[in-house]
Amino acid sequence: MNIALWIAAGLLAVAYVGGGGLKVIMSKQKIAASGPAAGWVEDFSPGAVKAIGVLEVLGGLGLVLPAAFGVAPELVPLAALGLAMIMVGAAATRISRREYRFMLVDLTYLVLIAFVAWGRFGPEAFVG
């Protein structure tokens, strides 16, 4: 199970650092123009989109770096909880926009994040 948790955390970290990084460096208009799944940015200010990006990057890094370096590994499940909250907000935004097809991706991320949080709080915790 530990290997599965590392794989899930690693894949999520890549996705969140990459996606969050793009939100930080790209303008809101460029994000919106990138495709129909990015229409959600219209509901947020440019600063809020950048803040979401920063939180995603920090959460993605928090999924692997604390445990990889052995410095405060108890932060891993907390990072997963933070990302889970972001994804609950993403799903709520999708519901309000009636973008149910895109919400399936958000829910998939949420399930993977919940798996990491459960595993690192419970049977494969780094501390305790």
Q: Could you report the per-residue pLDDT of 33-87, keeping only the tens digit for each?
A: 999 999 999 999 999 999 999 999 999 999 999 999 999 999 999 999 999 999 9
CB 123 within 8 A of CB 97: no
Nearest Cα neighbor of 60 from 100, 24, 104, 99 is: 24
Q: How far is residue 24 CA from its own chain's centroid?
A: 14
Give the contacts of 9 (CB within 8 A, at least 6 positions apart): 63, 64, 67, 76, 80, 116
| Residue 7 burial (CB count, 10 A) | 12
CB 12 within 8 A of CB 122: no
What gap in Å lies between CA 128 and CA 111, rounded to an integer? Answer: 25
Q: Quick check: 124 pLDDT over 80?
A: yes
Q: Quick check: 126 pLDDT over 90?
A: no
Q: Quick check: 127 pLDDT over 90?
A: no
128 — pLDDT class (breaks 50, 70, 90): low
